[in-house]
Amino acid sequence: MRRALPATQLIFAALTALVLHNHSGSLADCRMFLAALALIEAVYLIRIYREPRRCAALSVITSLILIILFTWELAAVNLKIANPILLPPPDEVFEVFADCRALMLKGVFSSLTLLGFSMSSALISGVVLGLAVGRVPFLRDIFLPVAKVLSPVPPIIYSPYAVAVMPTFRSAAALIIILGIFWPTFMGIINRVAAMDRRIADSARALGLSPREMIFRVMLPYLFPGIMSGLHVTLSTSFLLLTMAEMMGASSGLGYFIKNYSDYANYTNVIAGIILIGVVVSLLNALLSFAEKRLVRWKE
């Protein structure tokens, strides 16, 4: 019975979309909207197949998404109670994914390239320096208070100075993301190293491990699960910083896509860009969860 629910939802979604779509007599005009509904159902089917115990929760989430889309279509098309400029019909919004697919793909590639470089640089430097400082009490007493002061500072505050100092806007955006990720990572690694059970370190020393072996065979495996768990928050923070940085004056990227069209009051494309960002972040989080399950098997 539960497995039959998605098919019923899909049929209901398709029929409702066709009935509500009263401003065009062509099925082709709402093809992307129907494709989006089919994709939602496909994702739902895959998830309940892989996680049947979450069937009820996934059904509620999927139903809520469909209700939002139907209410949106009803308000924008049939009842006409929404401003057509600020809230265009969903079929027009989803059609943007077909009309602007090349520009969107270019923006996704540009954003992910910048995000990958900045996030990896911040994480690697934060982990390496955090390990070095956390192992030495003297250095910890010096740098931990500094990290506690700088970590809560919103990195977007650095943007005017970064734009003035860095040679290109892209490098300025990378610096903002790195600063936003480095200090929390640096402080977190120092605290984890300081909280490490002394018996683990003493046992490793009793085995005659060298400092290199101590780091790679004891400390990094000890810290790795915590680093992987924190990557979800780090990813969300990084994407937030990325989007804000790209909206300040970039010439490409997802943030630029939204800012560029909002300047011309093209809110159809703006809403499409917002949806695209949500999809990209969701896919990255799903990929991260998949990697975490494979790399940190003992958490299962």
The CATH code of the domain that includes 131 is 1.10.3720.10
DSSP 60: H
For the chain, give the mean pLDDT: 80
Asked if residue 246 lies in contact with residue 111, where contact means CB atoms within 8 angstroms, the answer is yes
Q: Work out the angle at residue 179's Cα, subtended by the Cα atoms of residues 173 and 181, and round it to the nearest 5 degrees.
A: 105
pLDDT in tens, 120-153: 999 999 999 998 888 888 888 899 898 888 888 8
Looking at the fold, whether 95 and 106 belong to one and the same domain comes out as no
With a cut of 60, say whether residue 5 has pLDDT above it.
no
Q: Which of 33, 66, 99 is the last residue of a domain?
A: 99
How far apart (Å, rounded) are the C-alpha atoms in residues 104 and 138?
A: 50
Looking at the fold, whether 64 and 111 belong to one and the same domain comes out as no
With a cut of 90, say whether residue 21 has pLDDT above it.
no
Looking at the fold, whether 142 and 261 belong to one and the same domain comes out as yes
Asked if residue 235 lies in contact with residue 225, where contact means CB atoms within 8 angstroms, the answer is no
Please tell me the number of Cα atoms within 13 Å of 217 on its side-chain side: 12
The whole-number pLDDT of residue 45 equals 77
How far apart (Å, rounded) are the C-alpha atoms in residues 66 and 5?
A: 13
Looking at the fold, whether 69 and 134 belong to one and the same domain comes out as no
Higher pLDDT, 62 or 177: 177
108-114: Cβ within 8 A, 24+ apart: 108/254, 108/276, 108/280, 110/252, 110/253, 111/242, 111/243, 111/246, 111/253, 111/254, 111/255, 111/280, 112/280, 114/170, 114/173, 114/174, 114/177, 114/242, 114/246, 114/253
pLDDT in tens, 157-168: 888 888 788 888
Looking at the fold, whether 85 and 183 belong to one and the same domain comes out as no
Q: Which of 99, 127, 143 is the last residue of a domain?
A: 99
How far apart (Å, rounded) are the C-alpha atoms in residues 181 and 157?
A: 14
Per the structure, the count of domains in the chain is 2
Looking at the fold, whether 175 and 63 belong to one and the same domain comes out as no
98-102, 197-201, 257-261: least confidently modelled range: 197-201
The whole-number pLDDT of residue 6 equals 52
The whole-number pLDDT of residue 105 equals 92
Domain residue limits at 61: 5-99
Looking at the fold, whether 36 and 46 belong to one and the same domain comes out as yes
Looking at the fold, whether 107 and 92 belong to one and the same domain comes out as no
Residue type, 113: T
pLDDT in tens, 219-256: 888 888 888 888 888 888 888 888 888 887 677 888 88
How far apart (Å, rounded) are the C-alpha atoms in residues 22 and 30?
A: 11
Share of the chain above pLDDT 90, in %: 11
Q: Which residues contact 169 (CB under 8 A, 6 or more apart)?
A: 163, 248, 249, 250, 251
The model carries a pTM of 0.81
Confidence bin at 28 (pLDDT 50/70/90): low
Looking at the fold, whether 115 and 259 belong to one and the same domain comes out as yes
The whole-number pLDDT of residue 125 equals 93
Mean pLDDT, residues 77-102: 82
Looking at the fold, whether 159 and 178 belong to one and the same domain comes out as yes
The whole-number pLDDT of residue 1 equals 43
Looking at the fold, whether 93 and 192 belong to one and the same domain comes out as no
Which two tokens mark 249?
């004056």
How far apart (Å, rounded) are the C-alpha atoms in residues 290 and 283?
A: 11
Q: Which of 50, 72, 99 is the last residue of a domain?
A: 99
Mean pLDDT, residues 56-66: 76
Torsion over CA: 68, 71, 77, 83 (sign): negative
Q: Which residues contact 37 (CB under 8 A, 6 or more apart)?
A: 10, 13, 14, 17, 66, 69
How far apart (Å, rounded) are the C-alpha atoms in residues 202 and 241?
A: 41
Looking at the fold, whether 105 and 90 belong to one and the same domain comes out as no
